[in-house]
Structure 1
Amino acid sequence: MATGEVAMSREETEAFKVLVKNTLERRLFYIPSYKIYGGVAGFYDYGPWGCQVETNVLNLWRQHFVMEEDMWEIRCPCVTPEVVLKASGHVDKFTDLMVKDEKLGSCFRADHLLKDFLTKALEEFEEIKREREAAPGVAAQVVVEKKDKKKVAEKKRELLTPEKKREMQADLAGLDEFSGPELGAKIKAYGIKSPESGNDLSDPYPFNLMFSTQIGPTGTLQGYMRPETAQGIFVNFRDLYYESGNRLPFAAAQIGSAYRNEIAPRQGPMRVREFTMAEIEHFVNPDDKSHPKFKNVADLEIYLFPRAEQTALESHVKMRIGDAVEKGIVDNETLGYFIARTYLFLTKLGINKNRLRFRQHLANEMAHYAQDCWDAEIECSYGWFECVGCADRSAYDLKAHTAKSGHELTAYEKFDEPKDEMKLTIVPNKKVLGKEFRKDQKILSESLEAMTREEALALKAELEEKEKVTYKVCTTGQEFQLTKDMVAISEKLEKSHGRNFTPSVIEPSFGIGRIMYCLYEHCFYTRPAVPGEPTTTVFRFPPIVAPVKCTVFPLMQREVLNAKAKKMSNGLTRAGVSNKLDITGRSIGKRYARTDEVGIPFAITVDFDEGVTVRERDSKQQVRISDVDVVDLVRDLANGSMVWEDVTAKYKLVTVTESEADS
């Protein structure tokens, strides 16, 4: 449990999760897809309230990042040709390790089985430890439950020693570092069986998570549903760089759907097969990763979970982001800046800052090309869950697409003073190549000209040793037999006024659905019953992300009041304030309760007197205000330029209770 929070038992956590889930589904924030046909795991529909929350979250994301950081926004197709994802490495490496029930064939994600087992065992150890402290003399034990289809077998208690506990903690901390064989050995060592049947499990093996498809009627062009939105930005780098005045740094952003064929999505809306991503690619000179606005966030204190604390089995620590960069814990200013901006975005949404941390990837967990990676993890009833990834991906992506496409995705830097540099020249002999390879001359020439310095010098050395050399064009897979007279490769010292280089990229990548679910849990509470009023559940969304900003009620069913309420609603709509008109005739208390439950922060009640009553959701305070002023007031509250305390300082509170209002 997070710092400053009261820990809940496992039973309390599960009960809370069920209550939130039931409320979200009952009020149509989200709905299991294809429910009338039995549903399909990993797919959810967003209902009316969920759609509006997502729209508000994405609008705030655009404001916070795209507009305030002066980024370009683009939109690319969801269907991606295989060649693009082959270059990025997704075709070969975008896999998770899977195990199968040896008898039933059910599939499970191997690391999740191990994580769930270790987490449960350690939680039970802590519970029994608390029991022992409350009743001295009771041995510290852990309960291991074995389940089958029909019944729960007798509970078997095994002593969990401090040494065993430390071993489990170490395995949990290093979970992402295990190879397939290591993961399989751990599953066997802990005696983990199929959670559905108790049967033995297979050894882990890789499963590619991408959905495949064919492009066009012939089925010859292989494609995939994109597993992320980033590749669309990388392949458009040249045009975006030109539109940026051929200057670095610049950033591009994309919001859209991504698809991953999850092995066993058993964590509700936190692990789904289709989801919304919002990604930023910030292109920067690899020799200068400073950020001009870093000083604006340097004093921000954030919970960080660096590698050192993870390997030492310690907890996350609170630290100034400026100190983290200065000490080299966070690799550079630009990465630190986006970590800080991500923190500000999430807390502005309504994420509890005490249940938010940034965890650094362990050395073996990080991609081979990455400079540094941090995940924004939010604590919810499913545990600490990655919701945002902030990575310095170095120059890997642009280099990979340059090599595969034959098009240079580079930037140019002009030197202040000319420099002596070795310049590489590659000149394909197109006449000889054309005579020998005819129609393939063009693609071969372009591939030769796109070689890196290392590739070109290696080919030159090989041609000097052998009569013929086999050369493979990476974009098509074609192989050609080259001779020395087909290409001239040379280096000479020249005065250079600038250089071409491949930019590095800093990438913050946001899983919008996960953020929204954590927001639901962090904003959810049960309002205690008071005399005359029932117990109610409430979402305390900040006004900026609330699905609707205001409801408008006539105090009772009278045509004159209904007309006044409709006029008020129309005025709010014209002012750009989303609102709901409720003239159902229910009691005012029940209408307040229904709107509180979906998180609407303000309610306007019209009656026979001059002016209207404005009510605030969480305090249930009400003020009286004129018809003329109310639209501007609610608009300012909704966009955050005014808070409720400003209202109560200006207007007199109305002391009528909600139960009295119904009488």
Structure 2
Amino acid sequence: MAATEEELEVLRTELLEKKTETEKQGEVVRALKGNKVDKKEIEEALQLLMKLKLEVQAKEKEITSKAAGSDGKGNSKESFRQQLNDTLTSRLFFIPAFKIYGGVAGLYDYGPPGCAIKANVLALWRQHYVLEESMLEIDCPCVTPEIVLKASGHVDKFTDFMVKDEKTGMCYRADHLLKDYCTEALEKDPLLTSAKRQELKEVLTTLDELNAAQLGEKIKEYKITAPDSKNPVSDPYPFNLMFSTSIGPSGNAPGFLRPETAQGIFVNFSKLYYYNGNKLPFAAAQIGQAFRNEIAPRQGLLRVREFTLAEIEHFVDPEDKSHPKFKDVADLEFLLYPRKEQLSMEKPVKTRIGDAVSQGVVNNETLGYFIARTYLFLTSLGIQKDRLRFRQHLPNEMAHYAADCWDAEIECSYGWIEVTGLADRSAYDLKAHSDKSNHDLSAFEKYAESKVFERLKITPHLKLLGPAFKKDGDTVGKALLAMSEEEALDMKAKLEADGQAPLEVCTTGKTFTIKKEQVSISKETVTEAGRKFTPAVIEPSFGIGRIIYCMYEHCFYTRPSKGGDEQLVVFKFPPIVAPIKCTVFPLIQNEKLNVVAKDLSVALTRAGVANKIDITGTSIGKRYARTDELGVPFAITVDFETDVTNDVTLRERDSRAQVRVPLKLIASVVRDISEGHLAWLEVLSIYPNVAPSQEE
């Protein structure tokens, strides 16, 4: 058994004390040699020094052994991952794309079972969100004009920090090199002092906050080199991750392959708002391909250059972010990792989502509702509850416009992996596209009765601003109109007192001097039938490939064969997402049994149950093992009793329990279990149990 972290810390303290004693004895030896004392005294001091050095080595071996466990291997994660990936590729769940030409990093093909699982996961996502939440689904092009992504900020800011091997030119993500160094040191160097371990943990916690200079400093401090060549690397610099292209034969219309699907929803807001009867709140959803030119793709399906996103944009009144169905999920408890616990290096806490919202840990009900619904969705796929957490973004991770952001993270052999982002993006996106396109992307709330307001009126005098500020005149005018009431009243006071006032325009980084005659600021009384406003957006964004890979890991296990001479691979996929729901085979090669099996396969297909028929005649045990390896939850065996009793054997994958079900009911029974309308335990209580096959 491996030692606990507390036990290892005691051993590290003992090692540190022993090293200190050794260093002191070394100083004694050097002093004796310098003073030219009796040779015997020096030899005795040297013997003690050698004894202490051997004790240090023994203590280091003890720590290393206990950190790795009794077998001394310490490679369980790597061994598990290798076995999993070997199974996934050999059974064609996914394979490297264009492999006969050498392949391309970050591009993968889904094989038959992988395609089926992906389709099932997306169908469940669509049911869980689009149908149950009455969302408006759209499908937009992958090629996006540059102006759209300029307005959203992607052209200027969609970057990662990159370093280059100074000799070979090979490129790497700077934060990945630093993360790998810290993770490997923490996992594989049990001799690290507690202070050093704490330091590395803090680096990992704040990794996303580091800018280029800070990343460069850490890379130099830890002497991190290129992983492949061990050559020194350059200072980090930004690299835009979007694939560029041009639209049309002239090449004069620049564009990009979209890095996300959200922008297509934002630019269609006014149409969707009208389609929804001009009512808020409402949500729009889109499933589609996205593209990111990753610097150094790795970790299989976790970091790729083309991937499937399923995104939701929930539009809501910024003054009312309550959710009518929040009470339905308020009592759910799961792991939350708020920023306070992260910064104090504490562990995630199991929290009731209703408490998290009421205490202000989660910003609002709508965001809390989608966090809870995401928990239900991910666990329905087979994600283990104790290896799923929701981590709040640290202050420096969040965009300036965001009200709150959380990531759903799943623990796998690569560590904690972000699979879903849940963000309250306020009204930033609609305002950005409205400003750039000059198209109104606002909503309107009609009051039950007209209301009288005292409203601040700002009137820039454009005829004076143009000559005064030249090309910046229009920008200055818009900045004046965008002032808050507090800013406008402060400017009014300065204009009346001094005849001029400063105006800082953040988009240009300049400060302009506004004169009294260039703008009028006053209050007026108005009667309004309603209010016009830009909706806020709550955005859940799902990386489907990442979710599927984590599901593979959480559903993968091995069990001994009947003779115990080998380990059999099993995927315990929930029936609703399994690539094939049921296999059908005759007990032995027999024409009469084959006919019944084929008819049964047709009946299952007509019932909407994906099935596979196997009439190869291979032993029943081997056929079970083959289908278990594909994650098929049920197997139907047709035997000689079927002709007499008109029933068949139904076997469940994980328990290997078997029951006899009437032939006329078997298709509907398997369909109901697969769709979640009937539990296996209910089947066991309804139909006669039979002993498992002797080959099981």
Q: For 2:565 and 2:636, how far apart are their aligned partners in 1?
A: 20
* Cα distance between partner residues in 1 of 2:585 and 2:517: 86
| Residue 141 of structure 2 corresponds to residue 77 of structure 1 | yes
Correspondence for 1:648: 684
Matched, 1:625 2:658: no
Q: Confirm or deny that 1:48 pairs with 2:48.
A: no
Cα deviation for residue 487 of structure 1 reads: 12
The letter of the residue matching 1:110 is A
- Report the Cα distance in structure 1 between the residues aligned to 2:600 and 2:384, rounded to whole angstroms: 35
Partner of 2:399: 367
**Cα offset for 1:122?**
1.1
Q: Does 1:519 align with 2:551?
A: yes
CA distance in structure 1 between the partners assigned to 2:479 and 2:674 by the alignment: 54
Q: Aligned partners of 1:534 and 1:16: how far apart in 2?
A: 16
Q: 1:323 aligns with which of 323, 345, 355?
A: 355
Give the deviation of 1:588 after TM superposition.
1.6
2:128 pairs with one of 64, 73, 81: 64
8 Å contact from structure 2 (residues 456, 521) kept in 1: no
Residue aligning to 1:180: 212
1:229 aligns with 2:261: yes
| SS of alignment partner, residue 313 of structure 2 | strand
2:188 aligned partner: 124
Whole-angstrom CA distance in 2 between matches of 1:535 and 1:252: 46
Matched, 1:32 2:96: yes
1:11 corresponds to: 75
Q: Deviations over 1:439-465 (max 9, x none)?
A: xxxxx99x999995449999x99xx99
Residue 427 of structure 1: how far off its partner (Å): 11
Alignment of 1:406-421 (within 5 A): 406-417=438-449, 418-421=451-454
Tell me if 1:217 matches 2:235.
no
Q: Distance in 1 between matches of 2:577 and 2:481?
A: 49
Which residue matches 1:157?
Answer: none
TM-score, normalised to structure 1, is 0.85
Give 5+ residue unaligned stretches, structure 1: 129-140, 142-159, 433-443, 467-471, 475-483
Match of 1:106 among 163, 167, 170: 170
**Post-superposition offset of 1:330:** 0.7
Distance 1:10 1:390 in 2: 35
Using the TM superposition, give the Cα deviation of residue 419 of structure 1 relative to its aligned residue in structure 2, in angstroms: 2.5
Cα 1:347–1:290 change in 2 (3 A) is same
Greater Rg by CA: 2
**Residue in structure 1 matching 2:237, options 205, 208, 228:** 205
Match among 535, 560, 574 for residue 503 of structure 1: 535
2-side partners of 1:352 and 1:346: how far apart?
A: 9
The answer as to whether partners of 2:68 and 2:74 remain within 8 angstroms in 1 is: no
How many residue pairs were aligned?
599
Q: CA deviation at 1:531?
A: 2.9
Q: What is the match of residue 145 of structure 1? A: none
Q: C-alpha distance in 2, partners of 1:656/1:541?
A: 21
2: CA distance between counterparts of 1:427 and 1:101?
A: 54
Give the Cα separation in 2 of the matches to 1:266 and 1:520: 17
Write the mapping of 1:396-407 to structure 2, written as runs, cut at 5 A. Answer: 396-407=428-439
Q: 1:7 to 1:299 in 2, by over 3 A?
A: farther
Change (3 A) 1:174 1:487: closer
Q: Distance in 1 between matches of 2:577 and 2:68?
A: 28
Q: Measure, in 2, the Cα distance between the counterparts of 1:238 and 1:486.
A: 34
**Paired amino acid for 2:455:** M
Matched, 1:554 2:586: yes
- Contact conserved, 1:233 with 1:281, CA < 8 A, in 2? yes
Distance 1:7 1:379 in 2: 20
Taking the aligned partners of 1:450 and 1:276, their CA distance within structure 2 comes to 39
Residues 550-580 of structure 1 deviation map (CA, whole Å, 9 limit, x = unaligned): 1111222222211111110111111111111
> How does the TM-score come out when normalised to structure 2?
0.81
Cα separation, 1, equivalents of 2:86 and 2:390: 30
Distance 1:7 1:495, change over 3 A: farther
Question: Greater helix share, 1 or 2?
Answer: 2
Q: Which runs of 5+ in 2 are unaligned?
A: 5-66, 464-472, 500-504, 508-515
Give matches, 1:105-504, under 5 Å.
Answer: 105-125=169-189, 128=190, 141=191, 160-417=192-449, 418-422=451-455, 452-454=481-483, 492-504=524-536
Aligned residues: percent identity?
A: 63
- Tell me whether 1:578 sits opposite 2:586 in the alignment: no
Aligned equivalents of 2:692 and 2:197: distance in 1? 57
Distance in 2 separating the partners of 1:31 and 1:7 = 32
RMSD of aligned C-alpha atoms?
3.2
CA deviations 1:393-421 (Å, max 9, x no partner) are: 00000000000000011111123441214
Task: Pick from 616, 619, 623 the counterpart of residue 652 of structure 2.
Answer: 616
Q: Which amino acid aligns with 2:125?
A: W
Partners of 1:372 and 1:218 in 2: how far apart? 43
Q: Which has the higher contact order (CA 8 A, sep 6+)?
A: 1
Give a deviation string over 1:588-615, Cα, whole Å, max 9, x none: 2111111110101011111233321111
User: Given that residues 657 and 692 in structure 2 are in contact (C-alpha distance below 8 angstroms), is that contact kept between their aligned partners in structure 1?
Assistant: no
Is the 8 Å Cα contact of residues 284 and 312 (structure 2) preserved in structure 1? Answer: yes
* Contact in 2 for aligned 1:423/1:494 (Cα 8 Å): no
How far does the alpha carbon of each residue in 1:521-541 deviate from its partner, in whole angstroms, 9 at most, with x for none? Answer: 000000122238853100000
What displacement does 1:124 show?
2.4
* 3-state SS of paired residue (1:570): helix
Give CA deviations for 1:358-413 in whole Å, capped at 9, x if unaligned: 01000011111111000000000111000000000000000000000000111111
Residues 471-500 of structure 1 deviation map (CA, whole Å, 9 limit, x = unaligned): x9x9xxxxxxxxx99999997432112111
- Judged with a 3 Å threshold, the aligned counterparts in structure 2 of structure 1 residues 541 and 197 are, in CA distance, closer, same or farther, namely same
Please say if residues 66 and 253 of structure 1, whose CA atoms lie closer than 8 Å, have aligned partners that are also in contact. Answer: yes
Provide closer, same or farther for how the CA distance between residues 306 and 532 of structure 1 changes in structure 2, counting only shifts above 3 A: closer
How far apart are residue 657 of structure 1 and its match?
1.9
Amino acid in structure 2 at the alignment position of 1:62: R
1:36-89: CA deviations, max 9, x gaps?
A: 111100000000000000011001001111111111100000000000000000
Q: Which whole-Å deviations, capped at 9, do the CAs of 1:6-62 have from their partners, x for residues lacking one?
A: 999751100000000000000000010001111100000000000000011001001
- Checking the alignment, whether the CA contact within 8 Å between 2:452 and 2:525 is kept in structure 1 is no
Deviation at 1:581, TM superposition (A): 1.3
Match of residue 84, structure 2, among 15, 20, 35: 20
The one-letter amino acid paired with 2:412 is C
Match of 1:636 in 2: 672
Match of 1:133 in 2: none
Contact 2:458 2:481 in 1 (8 A): no
